[in-house]
Amino acid sequence: MAAQNLKHALFCAIVTLVISYPILGLNLVAEGTKVVLEGADTATVISILLAAVAVFLFQLFRDNIMGSMGKMPNLNPFANREPMEQSKRQRLDTIVLVLLVVGALIWPFFVSRGSVDLATLVLIYIMLALGLNVVVGLAGLLDLGYVAFYAVGAYTFALLYQYFNISFWVALPLGACLAALFGLMLGFPVLRLRGDYLAIVTLGFGEIIRILLNNMTWLTGGPNGIGGIPDPTLFGMEFGRRVKEEGNTLFHEVFNISYSGNHKIIVLYLIALVLALFTAVVIRRFTKMPVGRSWEALREDEIAARSLGLSRTSVKLSAFTIGAFFAGFAGTVFASKQGFISPESFVFLESAIILAIVVLGGMGSQIGVILAAVAVIILPELAREFSEYRMLLFGLAMVLMMIWRPQGLMPMRRMHIELKKQE
Amino acid sequence: MSMLVLEDVHTHYGKIEALHGVSVEVNKGEIVSLIGANGAGKTTLLMTVCGSPQASSGRIILEGRDITRDPTANIMRSGIAIVPEGRRIFSSLTVEENLQMGGFFKSNAENRKSQDHVYSLFPRLKEREFQRAGTMSGGEQQMLAIGRALMSKPKMIILDEPSLGLAPLVIKQIFEIIGHLRDEGITVFLVEQNANQALSLADRGYVLETGRIRLHDTGANLLANPDVRAAYLGG
């Protein structure tokens, strides 16, 4: 036992050295026209060695350390708490929810422009994650190409504006419906696939859409993207300094206030907020309806679901279509927010981030997914100083989550009662 | 009056033929048991009735209507319900939600009625109404699986090995319920390895061996048949 621990600890220490020395210790220094590889200074070498020793000691005594950790009184003060009563819990849920929404509504008037802009982005990701939650969390279909529907929504608006001068409000339902149509189209070929194979095909689909956008230069402008996408208007009011579109009025003139660039940002935020709320409410309704239950049934046990007369085709297609619909929504808002889109915005990494949000939040749980979206989008912004290590931290957070809370931040709860233990 | 008729049904898995021309008839209101050893094709026969996989030749007639080429979803909505092998309840859904899934294509009012009916058949399920199905015992899960199948108000119910992995006392209970279903006018097609109980309950029985029907007689006669006794009842 001890010998095995020693061997393992030595191995871990060596791995620490091998990994951290090249990353932290080696520097590329430009000397005239040549690039020279330079070793680390003493301080770095010492800290790397210290880290290796720490890893060695931890691994050597890890059984003891973990054992005594288990004996410690529970660190989490809520761990042994009695669960709240159902009615009380629901009332609390409602109050918290209303407060959150009210807070979200008035919050942008008191903070900086950058924060509001970031919050809009968070809301877009919330929409995306809620939509993907239907496909992955509820229906259990692993979709790695979800970003394709996001791209369809964004490009629908951009192209419709470019060629037909169609406004945000008209493009919003069109973009969402077109994305839903693409969802349906993807649904057909993948009906028979499951698990890994489904993941690969959806991954391919995501790439196909991106590469198409990149190469159909005559239509989409290819890698140059599409610029000049207008901001949303509010009942025919624009938020610029001057009117761009015939027949529109100006927001600050109508209300007789001085022009401010913030109006536009805040209105965009509020629109995104309303749409995100709409997404959450609609999907919540769906989960309570038979169609939502059929998604879960199919995920739980396909044979049983089919034995009850559910058609696999329609259940899977409905999940794909509804998920894609909300991605189209988010895409339209994104295009309007950015004012410029290119295939660059719809790479696989985006799909991965949205999926990470769903997994981190807890499959199927709406509140969890919303929290995770906030965390995943805002934390990297807060950690700007460590920008080089951002992905490293992200990866670390994922690994730790999977170890300690594999079911996500707030796993989906079902209404159920538990029998009181007999006294 | 026949409820379900299989005429010379052949079923293939890829190139392998699993059923070599099976003919079975189930009359309205009776309990018909199908017994056979492991790998005889019992489950395949049931799955063929449900259209997954579809029969490669032959005809399957449900109440005078040919359903051989119907998609599974349509077959399962036309008055036939199956309790699949190994129960296959939705374990993370509650008991009530499981039952609701069974009545997916019925109205809410109808579902409430059939739910009460299921609870009267299985008072145990009523006690566990809001409990997650996966946390129940095997016997309770089997009751739930039968209850879920009853929610669609079937004219005929197919049970695939309902006694699998259950305690003798629970098996007895389940078989009592099956007898009760017949009294309610539901046709029962029972597939079992537990030949003794299946045959004593059944009006008629079939013995399936390597994809062919070997014997066909009343339940009592099959029980008395020395060949059947030797092969399935341990002498």
Going from N- to C-terminal start, the domains of chain B cover 2-79+154-232, 92-153
| Sequence-separated (6 or more) residues with CB below 8 Å from residue A251 | A234, A237, A238, A239, A263, A267
pLDDT tens for residues A1-45? 567 788 888 888 898 888 888 877 777 777 778 888 777 778 888
Is residue A234 in a domain? Answer: yes
Q: Is the pLDDT of residue A423 over 50?
A: no
Is A91 domain-assigned? no
- Please check whether residues A159 and A25 belong to one and the same domain: no
Domain contains A183: yes
Looking at the structure, tell me whether residues A118 and A38 fall in a common domain: no
**What is the tally of structural domains in chain A?**
2
* pTM, two decimal places: 0.81
Residues A156 and A224 in one domain: yes
Alpha helices, DSSP H, located in chain B: 42-49, 72-76, 95-102, 108-121, 123-127, 138-150, 168-183, 195-201, 219-224, 226-232
Residue A147 maps to a domain: yes
Q: Is A64 on the interface with B (CB under 8 A)?
A: no
> Apex CA A356: angle with CA A355 and CA A359, to 5°?
85
Of B52, B88, B93, the CB nearest to A296: B93
The ipTM (two decimal places) reads: 0.86
Minimum Cα–Cα distance from B84: chain A residue: A304
Of the candidates B75, B89, B94, the beta carbon closest to that of A414 is on: B94
Q: Which amino acid is at A40?
A: A
B100 chain-A contacts, CB cut-off 8 A: 293
Strand partners, A317: none
- Say how far apart CA A300 and CA B133 lie, in whole Å: 12
The SS3 of residue B227 is helix
Which of A306, A311, A416 is opposite residue B130, by nearest beta carbon? A416
Q: Phi and psi (nearest 5°) for B78?
A: -110, 50
Q: Could you tell me which of A103, A96, A122 has the C-alpha nearest to residue A269?
A: A122
Shortest distance, CA B76 to any CA of chain A (angstroms): 4
The shortest C-alpha distance from B40 to chain A (Å) reads 21
Higher per-residue confidence, B5 vs A395: B5
Tell me, yes or no, whether A32 and A112 share the same domain. Answer: no
Two structure tokens written together for B69: 């080429």
- Residues A13 and A55: beta-carbon distance below 8 Å: yes
- Beta partners for residue B213, in sequence order: B208
Distances in Å between the Cα of B88 and the Cα atoms of A195, B92, B160 are 19, 12, 11
Which residues in chain A have Cβ-Cβ distances shorter than 8 Å to B152?
Answer: 308-309
Residue-level pLDDT, tens digit, chain B, 235 residues: 789 999 999 999 989 999 999 999 999 999 999 998 888 899 999 999 999 889 999 999 999 999 999 999 999 998 999 999 888 999 888 899 899 999 999 898 999 999 999 999 999 999 998 899 999 999 999 999 999 999 999 999 999 999 988 999 999 999 999 999 999 999 999 998 888 889 999 999 999 999 999 999 999 999 999 988 888 877 6
> Two tokens at B169?
């006392």
pLDDT at A333 over 90: yes
State the smallest CA–CA distance between residue B206 and chain A in angstroms: 23
Of B52, B105, B149, the CB nearest to A306: B52
pLDDT tens-digit series, residues A222-246: 899 998 888 888 777 777 777 777 6
Are B125 and B147 contacting, i.e. CB atoms less than 8 angstroms apart? yes
pLDDT reading at A362 higher than 60: yes
Residues of B in contact with A296 (CB under 8 A): 90, 92-93
Q: What average pLDDT does this structure show over A362-388?
A: 83
Q: How far apart are CA B16 and CA B13, in angstroms?
A: 5
A420 touches chain B (CB under 8 A): no
Comparing alpha-carbon positions, the chain B residue that sits nearest to A310 is: B73
On the 0-12 / 13-18 / 19+ scale of CB atoms within 10 A, A4 is exposed
CA quadruple A26, A27, A32, A33: dihedral, nearest 10: 80
φ, ψ of residue A173 to 5 degrees: the values are -65, -35
Q: Which of A300, A309, A419 sits opposite B105 (nearest CB)?
A: A309
Cross-chain residue pair A293–B97, CB shorter than 8 Å: yes
3-state secondary structure of A266: helix
Mean pLDDT of A347-369: 88
Separation of alpha carbons A74 and A43, rounded Å: 38
Judge if A32 and A129 occupy the same domain: no
Give the chain B residue whose CA is nearest to the CA of A298: B90
Mean pLDDT over A128-157 rounds to 94
Q: Which of A68-82, A253-267, B125-139, B153-167 has the lowest mean pLDDT?
A: A68-82
**Domain that residue A302 falls in:** 104-404
Beta-carbon-side half-sphere exposure of residue A408 (alpha carbons within 13 Å): 26
Contacts of A215 (CB under 8 A, 6+ apart): A222
| Residues of chain B neighbouring A413 (CB-CB closer than 8 A) | none
Under 8 Å between Cβ of A150 and A347: no
Q: Which of B56, B177, B204 is closest to B123 using CA atoms?
A: B177
A-chain residues within 8 Å CB-CB of B92? Answer: 296, 300, 414
Assigned architecture for domain B2-79+154-232: 3-Layer(aba) Sandwich (3.40)
> Average pLDDT in the A170-182 region?
95
* Out of A125-129, A390-394, B202-206, least confident range: A390-394
Q: DSSP secondary structure string, A199-222?
A: HHHHHHHHHHHHHHHHH-HHHH-G
CA atoms within 13 A on the CB side of A81: 8
Domain membership of residue A73 (yes or no) is: no
Could you tell me if A57 and A114 lie in one domain? no
Q: Are A345 and A332 in contact (CB under 8 A)?
A: no
- The one-letter amino acid code at B24 reads V
By Cβ distance, the residue of A300, A306, A419 closest to B90 is A300
The answer on pLDDT for A122 being more than 70 is yes
Spatial strand order in the sheet of B31-36: B80-83, B156-160, B187-192, B31-36, B204-209, B212-218
Residue A324: CATH number of its domain: 1.10.3470
A200: pLDDT strictly greater than 60: yes
